[in-house]
Amino acid sequence: MPQGPGALYPHPSPVPGSNQIGLFEIGVSPIGTIPAFDVWTTILNQYANSETLVALCTNMGQYVDPTLNLDEFFDTIWNVDTAVGYGLDIWGRIVGTGGRVLQLPGGAGSFFGFEEAGAGSFGFGQQPFYSGGGVTNNFTLSDAAYRPLVLAKALANICDGSIPAVNQLLLNLFPGQGNSYVADGLNMTETFTFSAPLSTVQLAIVQNSGVIPRTSGVTALVSHP
């Protein structure tokens, strides 16, 4: 008789013709959860009653079992839907986003100053004192903001660049913000129109990220409330 937990409770075999690949049932089994290594698959039945051998194999299985590391690798790096930090940066390099740092539009602003300060300085009661803001207009996207950008760039890489394809890309980038679309001006211009106001970061995504396909030699305009 077979002995040991692995023999008493064997893994179920795939049923011929079922929607299953090995132990993975398509549409049912969770992606990214790897079954733990079963040490009993390495122990012959005749040694199942050897306490010393079983203890050695069980302990060694716990020491070198890579299941947790592989599962963590899949969730944080391999799966674009759950990747974070460095893993999401890798996906950005793969699809070619150019990184998660965007150049925000606009200048440094206007502040209180005297005539010798030049342009951008105003007298009393007109502009506030300089508050020591950032020295650049660079903005680093968070994981939550960068993930849609990565997915949009992946779509841009494989789409045909047609207006319906770009419209779908815009809706994916800015979900829940009303209608977004691009229109051909028939005068060597194209206009990206958004029914909802865009934040400074969203405007930078449209203008400076390079994710949204644009027609060569055509001036791109942005229209939003």
Q: Tell which residue, 197, 88, 83, has the closest CA to residue 141.
A: 88
In a 13 Å sphere around the CA of 84, the CA atoms on its Cβ side amount to 5
Q: Phi-psi bin for 16: left (phi > 0), alpha (psi -120 to 50), beta?
A: beta
User: Which SS3 state, helix, strand or coil, does residue 122 take?
Assistant: strand
Can you read off the two tokens belonging to residue 13? 């075999």
pLDDT in tens, 9-21: 344 444 444 566 6
Specify the pLDDT at position 12. Answer: 44
Is 70 exceeded by the pLDDT of residue 82? yes
d(Cα 99, Cα 88) in Å, to the nearest integer?
10
Q: For residues 40 and 123, which has the higher predicted lDDT (pLDDT)?
A: 40
Specify the pLDDT at position 11. Answer: 42
Question: Are the beta carbons of 194 and 178 closer than 8 angstroms?
Answer: yes
Split at pLDDT 50, 70, 90, the class of 32 is: low
Split at pLDDT 50, 70, 90, the class of 91 is: very high
Is 50 exceeded by the pLDDT of residue 162? yes
Is 70 exceeded by the pLDDT of residue 76? yes
Specify the pLDDT at position 89. Answer: 93
pTM over 0.85: no
Name, of 15-29, 75-89, 115-129, the range with top average pLDDT.
75-89
User: Which SS3 state, helix, strand or coil, does residue 58 take?
Assistant: helix
Q: Regarding the domain delimited by 82-99+142-225, which CATH topology (the fold level of the hierarchy) does it fall under?
A: Helix Hairpins (1.10.287)
Geometric angle at alpha carbon 150, from 147 and 153, rounded to 5°: 150
Specify the pLDDT at position 131. Answer: 59
- Cite the residue boundaries of each domain of the chain with CATH code 1.10.287: 82-99+142-225
